[in-house]
Amino acid sequence: MKKLSIIFILGIFFITSKADNFPVGASSLGMANATVAVPTLWSVYHNQAALAMTEGISLGLYYETRFNMQEFATKALVFSASTKRGSFGFDFTNYGFSAYSDNKLGVSYSLKLAEKISAGIQIDYFLIHQDAYYGNLSAFTGEIGIIAEPMDNMYIAAHVFNPFRAKIASYQDERLPTIFRVGMAYDFNEKFKYTFEVQKDLQYSPYFKTGMQYEMLKNFMLRAGLTLNDVTVYPAFGIGYTLNNLSIDIAYENTPLLGAKTGVGLSYKF
């Protein structure tokens, strides 16, 4: 019965998220992933340009699961390093299990074009591992982003995933999705951050996302967010705590079709 359930749910995932861009990071998930304009380590996944506004060397691990089943888990490793010649990023992501998995490998570079404007690019390699009957699929693509701080504590940003519409399979001319994201973030003070974002896949109607982060106690964060698409609302919640250079984040999001997902992230700044 469990195997039949897995096959049925995988059928839904094949339709809805095959070789998609991974929105990784528990701190982002807790804010409904409305973080295209938020400079953090997890900008490696959301907007590489924002890495140029971070400092130091950071390493992060992420684990996300749906239905509390390891067959539907997403695992990720992310690294960033800021230098005088720009910021560099690396990420590896795996979703699925032995019979089917989506894998992404990315290398990014970002640079400050001016004091408060940065741009970034990333090269991605996707590998879809399938049962031997179907065979594996692979493709190269890229990402590009920009972020600016037009006034103190306000960021505006734009990001495009797969602008080249890379082909992943010859059958029915299947291509990786092209996704546009435009958003803003504003720090009202040292404790409260608000974000808003519009995400548009070329093939689907837009998503409107908003998120908030509040430092309730010293180094302890509360997060909440909403994703709206047509008449559907996806709520998200999260918490985070930083101890010295180590950050621990936990988040939860519920979607009507794909069910609840929980994400846990660890990051360390050297």
Task: Tell me the domains of the chain and their CATH numbers.
Answer: 2-269 (2.40.160.60)
Q: For 177-193, how does the pLDDT look when each residue is reduced to its tens digit (9 = 90+)?
A: 999 999 999 999 999 99
pLDDT classification of 237: cutoffs 50, 70, 90:
very high
> What is the per-residue pLDDT for 25?
95
* Cα separation, 256 vs 254, whole angstroms: 7
* Spatial distance between the Cα atoms of 2 and 114, rounded to a whole number of angstroms: 55
Residues 260/25/238/219 CA torsion (nearest 10 deg): 160
Q: What is the mean pLDDT of residues 168-180?
A: 85
Q: What pLDDT does residue 209 have?
A: 97
pLDDT digits (tens, 9 = 90+) for 190-207: 999 999 999 999 888 999
Phi and psi at residue 55, to the nearest 5°? -130, 155
